[in-house]
Amino acid sequence: MAIVTVFGASLRNAMIAISLIWWPQYARLMRGQVLQEIGRDYVTAALASGASGRRILLRHILPNCVSPLLVRGSLDLGTALLLTASLSFLGLGAQPPLPELGALVTQGRDFLLTAWWYPTFPGLLLFLCVLAANIIGDAAHDWMDPTVQ
């Protein structure tokens, strides 16, 4: 919230703030994956056969490190949707007339007693989007992780 407040309320600044908060988690995950892959026998065999460090990185290490990042990204998609909607609900995200689910819930808040569907359906759509993102992330995890059977 502080980052969006400093830079100004807009959807772009909300996305920048979310990215600034989350990039260290992805960097830490990637670093751990690379360190794990460096110790594998096929990397040692590639080094022994005379492959360059760049070739080992691009052909052997990175392809094996991408799937955990994709799974983590698909699981974080629902959280990013909720964060964006929360910032818009508070007036720090998307500004009118840009349609955004959190902003639509805020606009419909005044009509809750007379037109309950106005804030309810954007909130329900947000719920369904987050649920779908989590189901897709879980399916991606099951599909890409060889240890899950």
15-29 pLDDT tens trace: 888 888 889 999 999
Angle between helices 101-108 and 62-89 (to 10 degrees): 20
Cis amide prior to 97 (ω within 30 degrees): yes
Token pair 């979310």: residue:
18
Mean pLDDT of the 71-97 span: 86
pLDDT band at 7 (very low <50, low <70, confident <90, very high): confident
At residue 93 the predicted structure's pLDDT band, cuts being 50, 70 and 90, is confident
Please choose, from the candidates 58, 61, 72, the residue with its C-alpha nearest in 3D space to the C-alpha of residue 36: 61
2-144 fold:
MetI-like fold (1.10.3720)
Contact 85, 102 (CB under 8 A): yes
The ranges assigned to domains in the chain are 2-144
Residue type for position 8: G
